[in-house]
Structure 1
Amino acid sequence: PNVKIINDGTRRNEDRHGAVACLQLTVKSCAVDDHLVVIGGDTLFREDFSLRKFTESFFEVQNKDKESHLVLSYQCKDEETSKYWILELDEDLKVQCMKEKPLLSETRSRNAVCFLLYCMIQDYIKVLFVLIIRVNIFNVFRQSMGQSQASRRPVYVLRISGRFDVGNLPSYIECDKYFRNQLQNPSVYLM
Structure 2
Amino acid sequence: MGIKVIFLCAGYGTRLERDLLNSKEHKDLLGVAKAMLPIGGRPLIAHWMDSLAENGEFEHFYMTTNSRFYSQFQKLVKEYDSCLSVLNDGTTCNEDRLGAVASINFAIEEFKLENDDVLIIGGDTLFYNDFDMKKFVSKFNDLKSNTKNCGLVTTYTCKEDETTKYGILEVDQNGKVKSLIEKPQPCETKSRLACPCFYLLSSDCSSFIKQFLDERKHSPLKEKDATGHLIKYLIANCNIHSYQISGRFDVGGLQSYEECNDYFCK
Alignment counterpart, residue 207 of structure 2, candidates 126, 129, 142? 126
Aligned to 1:97: 179
Of residues 50, 59, 62 in structure 1, which corresponds to 2:144? 62
User: 1:139 aligned to 219, 229, 235, which one?
Assistant: 229
Superposed displacement of residue 108, structure 1:
1.9
Paired positions, count: 175
Letter of the 1:163 counterpart:
R
Per the alignment, residue 241 of structure 2 pairs with 156
Residues 163, 59 of structure 1: CA spacing in aligned structure 2 closer, same or farther, 3 A cutoff?
A: same
Q: Give runs of aligned pairs for residues 168-187 of structure 1, distance below 5 A.
A: 168-181=253-266
CA shift, 1:137, in A, is: 2.8
Which residue matches 2:68?
Answer: none
Instruction: Quote the Cα distance in structure 1 between the aligned partners of 2:137 and 2:102.
Output: 24
| Aligned partner of residue 5 in structure 1, secondary structure | strand
Query: Paired residue for 2:105, among 4, 24, 48?
Result: 24
Gap regions ≥5 residues in structure 2: 1-81, 218-223
Task: Give the letter aligned to residue 247 of structure 2.
Answer: G
**Superposition deviation, residue 172 in structure 1:** 0.3
Q: Any idea what SS the aligned residue of 1:24 has?
A: helix
Distance 1:21 1:83 in 2: 22
| Displacement after TM superposition at 1:122 (Å) | 0.9
Q: For the residues of structure 2 that align with 1:20 and 1:26, how far apart are their CA atoms?
A: 10
What is the 5 A alignment of 1:35-114?
35-114=117-196
1:11: which partner in 2?
Answer: 92
Q: Cα 1:79–1:139, aligned 2, differ >3 Å: closer, same or farther?
A: same
* Secondary structure in 2 matching 1:88: strand
Runs of 4+ in 1 over 4 A off after TM superposition: none
Q: Deviations over 1:7-66 (max 9, x none)?
A: 112222322111222222211221112111111110011011133322222112112312
Q: TM-score, length-normalised on structure 1?
A: 0.83
**One-letter amino acid of the counterpart of residue 181, structure 2:** K
Q: d(CA) in 2 for partners of 1:127 and 1:110?
A: 27
Look up the equivalent residue of 1:117 and give its one-letter code.
Answer: F
- Do the aligned residues in 1 keep the contact of 2:205 with 2:234 (CA within 8 Å)? no
Q: Secondary structure at the match of 1:10?
A: coil
The amino acid across from 1:36 in the alignment is V
Give, in whole Å, the separation in 2 of the partners of 1:109 and 1:20: 25
Q: Deviations over 1:110-146 (max 9, x none)?
A: 11111x111112123322222223233332211233x
Q: Distance in 2 between matches of 1:107 and 1:20?
A: 26
Contact 2:150 2:205 in 1 (8 A): no
- 1:23–1:96 distance in 2 versus 1, CA, 3 Å: closer
- The one of the two structures with greater contact order (alpha-carbon pairs below 8 A, sep at least 6) is 1
3-state DSSP of counterpart to 2:187? helix
Distance in 1, Cα, partners of 2:147 & 2:191: 25
Q: What one-letter code is carried by the residue in structure 1 that aligns with 2:242?
A: V
